A and B are shown apart, each in its own frame.
Chain A
Amino acid sequence: MSGNLTLCSSSSLLESNSHWSKINQLYRVNIASYGDFISPLLSSDNSTVVIVLFLEDLIHDFNEELSSIQNRYAQFFEAIKSHHESSNQATIICFGKTKEYSVLKGVKRDANEQIVHKWFYDQLNSVKNELDSIYLINLDDVFREPGNQNIYSDRNWYFARCRLSAKGLSVLTNSIFMVLDRLANPPYKVLALDCDNTIWGGVIGEDGLQAITLGQDGMGAAFADFQKEVVKLINQGVIVVLASKNNEEDVWKVFDEHTSMKLKRSHIVSYRINWAEKALNLKEIADELDVSLDSFVFWDDNPLERDKMRSLLPQVLTIEPPLNIIEWPRLINSLNCFARFESTEDDQHKLAQYKARAHFKDNIQNTSNVNNYLKSINLKPTVISLDDSNLSRAEQLCKKTNQFNLRTIRHSARELKQFKSSNNDFIFLTHLEDNYGDHGVVSLVCLKTLSENSIFLDTLLISCRVFGRHLESWILSVILNRMSKYDLRYLIAEFIETDSNILAKNFLQNYGFAEFTRDLKIDDSISSIDFGNNKSYYYLDTKNVEIPNIDIFNGAMKYES
């Protein structure tokens, strides 16, 4: 259970219908009475709010003066704003119109319903853009593909005061579920592609370069368009790797010599082109990239390979592509598994960053003294204060970082701002640059005062792309530096175990943190710590602390930028 969810709507949504069950499994759902979407916004039970509005429920007479409609709904938009101020949870608004406009009515001048519809939509859209906890699902867009006549049902309206057909309910609940799911879970990071009959038609080892299907016409164009869509994903920050049963030189021959290849060798961050089991190959790639397998999407035309992947690595998302290749470009374009709410500037540099990472891992494996090697690569960490330009990156780090993350608390942008407003010194980002390139903003620290002597490490996370550089040493030194400014002696940390964050626990153990128990009286004033439910706390006494590996940051000990 992810918490409470309040569902309000302008007419019945048959909330007991089985289409809602996937949302009921995730949340305790409270249903507000129909037509009342203001009081749930004003209540302060900190639940996620979903509001479903149909224009025809809101406006009964489209001949009413726009100004009087505006007056009537001003209170609603005020309520959304004040809800945003007081709640930490997301509000998802779904808005659509159930009726089609007549061609003739709008062809010369906007009909009244068009004017009202546009005003309402614009209001919601600007609220969405202004306030980061508000999400807007434009039902008119969502319903375009299935078609209004399949989505809305006059019979259901007159019989049960529900605007939607069963199909409509299904599409609506799926859309809401998708947004809730993305709020709770990060998108996938890696696309693992087969080669033969996936990025081109035919088998390169048998058919040869001239005979494979790839190019301008027919099926060849479909494969080329599929590749174009893959390149688009790469530009959005998705990492592409190859898992192909082939002779390596045959595959690279296509990449190097076939003029219709849209995917280039330089796009491929890692590959395993051999005759081994693809599951083993993906495991190796996951280790190499420091990306966990549950961030992988696997695309292969061969049903046997897909079945094997599903049974050997169920955590990998194996796509079931349609038999007909011409449907592939549209399908990959519409995949939600990679979709994110916002793209940050950082996403566009992913390819270079992961390649630098692979290069770094290769070099460090071949060196005898790791710390000497790290000294030689000119690590340049910089502290960056949280501001509007990096807020979405900070939020993204919270959402996506799974491995080096002490508590894996997915703070929203709003919550991060609250840390900043409580004390600007107690939240900072770290940017890292070295000989392998500019890694961008890779770490976030949030601190909370506990008592006169102690401070709580609410968030410490480091992006996997800079693992192996002991950046945690440098970050810890910054934290200690800030603590000394406020005469704080104890750094209290909590480790919340997940499937993938053992690295963060190792950090506490290797950097001198001691386990903190109820009986330990290091500081009488620490009363706010809750030791219930197997929680594990640690503390670091900053008197006489020595930070391991800090010497590798030789020239770069200037903490503040």
Chain B
Amino acid sequence: MNLRQILIETFINSSIPENIDNLKIGDLDEWDSLGNFNLILAIEQNFGIQFDFDQLENLNSIAEITKALENDISNK
């Protein structure tokens, strides 16, 4: 799954725009702090990774999440 598909599955009652690059917490009704955590869990499960506690606090937007994913992949 790509990030957009994960957004669709996590926020089932929201309509997800085609371009998600600038999307961040608060932009969708369901994307509140708890929604954000559900999103992170779904991303972790999908990519088979685990973010650190420290990272979690900053992962509040697609931009940050993409950056963290890229770092994670380049570290492997």
Contacts and interface: CB of A to CB of B under 8 A. Distances in A.
B10 interface: yes
B10 A18 contact: yes
A17 B41 contact: yes
A232 interface: no
A18 B53 contact: no
B56 A18 contact: no
Interface string A507-545: 000000000000000000000000000000000000000
Given A155-B53, A159-B56, A16 B30 contact: yes
A524 to B, nearest CB: 50
A160 interface: yes
Interface string A148-180: 000000011011100000110100000000000
Contacts of B10: 18
Given A158-B53, A166-B44, A14 B12 contact: no
Category for how many chain B residues contact A = 10 to 19
A46 B44 CA distance: 38
Contacts of A160: 34, 37
A14 to B, nearest CB: 6
Contacts of B34: 14, 16, 160
Nearest to A164: B41
A21 interface: yes
Nearest to A160: B37
Nearest to A169: B41
A156 B40 CA distance: 11
Contacts of B45: 166-167
A17 B52 CA distance: 20
Given A155-B53, A166-B44, A166-B45, A18 B37 contact: no
A160 B50 CA distance: 15
Contacts of A16: 30, 34-35, 38
A14 B37 CA distance: 9
Contacts of B37: 14, 156, 159-160
Interface of A, helix, strand, loop or mixed by DSSP:
helix
Nearest to B52: A155
A166 B35 contact: no
Interface string A469-506: 00000000000000000000000000000000000000
B12 to A, nearest CB: 7
Contacts of A158: 53
Given A14-B38, A16-B38, A160-B37, A21 B53 contact: no
A17 B9 CA distance: 10
Nearest to A20: B38
B42 interface: yes
A505 B27 CA distance: 55
Interface string A390-434: 000000000000000000000000000000000000000000000
Contacts of B12: 18, 21
B10 to A, nearest CB: 6
Contact of B42 (A18, A155, A156, A167): A18
Contacts of B56: 155, 159
A21 B9 CA distance: 10
Which of B9, B38, B50, B52 has most A Cβ within 10 Å? B38
A17 B56 CA distance: 17
A167 B37 CA distance: 14
A159 B53 contact: yes
A159 B55 CA distance: 11
A112 B73 CA distance: 45
Contacts of A18: 9-10, 12, 38, 42
Contacts of B38: 14, 16-18
Nearest to B33: A160
Interface in B16-54: 30, 34-35, 37-38, 41-42, 44-45, 50, 52-53
B55 to A, nearest CB: 10
A169 B52 CA distance: 19
A12 to B, nearest CB: 8
Contacts of A167: 45
A14 B30 CA distance: 13
A166 B53 contact: no
Interface in A10-25: 14, 16-18, 21
Which of A18, A158, A159, A169 has most B Cβ within 10 Å? A18
Nearest to B37: A160
A18 B46 CA distance: 13
B16 to A, nearest CB: 14
Interface string A60-93: 0000000000000000000000000000000000
Nearest to B53: A155
Contacts of A21: 12
A21 B11 CA distance: 11
A156 B34 CA distance: 11
Nearest to B34: A16
A167 B34 CA distance: 17
Nearest to A15: B34
A165 to B, nearest CB: 8
A160 B34 CA distance: 8
Contacts of B35: 16
Interface of B: 9-10, 12, 30, 34-35, 37-38, 41-42, 44-45, 50, 52-53, 56
14 contacts: A14-B38, A14-B41, A16-B34, A17-B38, A18-B9, A18-B42, A21-B12, A155-B53, A155-B56, A156-B41, A159-B53, A160-B37, A166-B41, A166-B44
Given A156-B37, A166-B41, 19 more contacts: A14-B34, A14-B37, A14-B41, A16-B30, A16-B34, A16-B38, A17-B38, A18-B10, A18-B12, A18-B42, A155-B50, A155-B52, A155-B53, A158-B53, A159-B56, A160-B34, A166-B44, A166-B45, A167-B45
The 3 closest A-B pairs by CB, nearest first: A166-B41, A17-B38, A166-B45
